Amino acid sequence: MTSRATTAGPRERLLEAAKRLTYTRGVGVGIDALLSASNVARRSLYEHFGGKDGLIAEVLRLAAEEDEATYRRTMRAAGGNPRDRLLAVFDALAKVVARPDFRGCRYLAADLALADPDHPGHAVTREYRQRVHHLLERELAALGHPRPDLAADQLLLLIDGTLAAGATRPDSRPAASARLLAEQILDAGAA
């Protein structure tokens, strides 16, 4: 009986609580809040992550993995047509920004809040954006778009804009607005 869920170790509990609290309260949350929310001893944080910065970076890494998987799942569920797969991303965004607890893009918030350009979190967010960019670019290439790199930049810009507007002007239905523009980007490839 060594199996069973074993209630998840302190590392996992801390990561989960940090993922939640760094989003709702920002990366400026105090360590104590993370520890008490996860019922993890102070010392365990430093043994597992070396410090707050390491924990934040790991949280971003974990969230980025999940979010990238969500992108892939969304596109996979949309079938084999690259156009449908890309537009499905904006339909998914509409649901994301409509969630009552939506508070904007976690990665942009982290980049803006972490003033130190050498903070390890920045490298994580940078790589995440590259991965999403690559994801989009591949679909655009499959679509036969003449400039998949530029178009991927534009789609990424629409995604960032949607998440920003979703946080600051939720009543403007930004995902729908962005989807219309995305269609025009894709039409340039179908021409």
Q: Which stretch binds a second copy (CB under 8 A): 46-54, 68-76, 78-86, 97-105?
A: 97-105
Angular region, 184: left φ>0, alpha ψ -120 to 50, beta rest: alpha
Provide CB contacts within 8 A for 164, sequence distance 6+.
104, 105, 108
Site for DNA in 46-65 (CB under 7 A): 46-48, 51-53
Binding residue for DNA, selected from 33, 141, 142, 156, defined by CB under 7 A: 33
> Would you say 111 or 139 has its CB closer to DNA?
111
C-alpha–C-alpha distance, residues 55 and 48, integer Å: 8
Residues 122-161 that bind a second copy (CB under 8 A): 125-126, 129, 150, 153-154, 156-161
Among 3, 4, 5, 32, binds DNA (CB under 7 A): 32
Cβ closest to DNA, residue 57 vs residue 175: 57
111 binds, among a second copy, DNA, none (CB under 5 to 8 A by kind): a second copy
Size of residue set near DNA by CB under 7 A: 23
Find the binding residues for DNA in span 133-162 (CB under 7 A).
none
**Residue that is written with structure tokens 């976690």 in the block:** 106
Point out which residues bind DNA (CB under 7 A).
2, 9-11, 13, 28-33, 39-44, 46-48, 51-53
Point out which residues bind a second copy (CB under 8 A).
24-26, 28, 103-105, 107-109, 111-113, 115, 125-126, 129, 150, 153-154, 156-165, 167-169, 172-174, 177-178, 180-181, 184-185
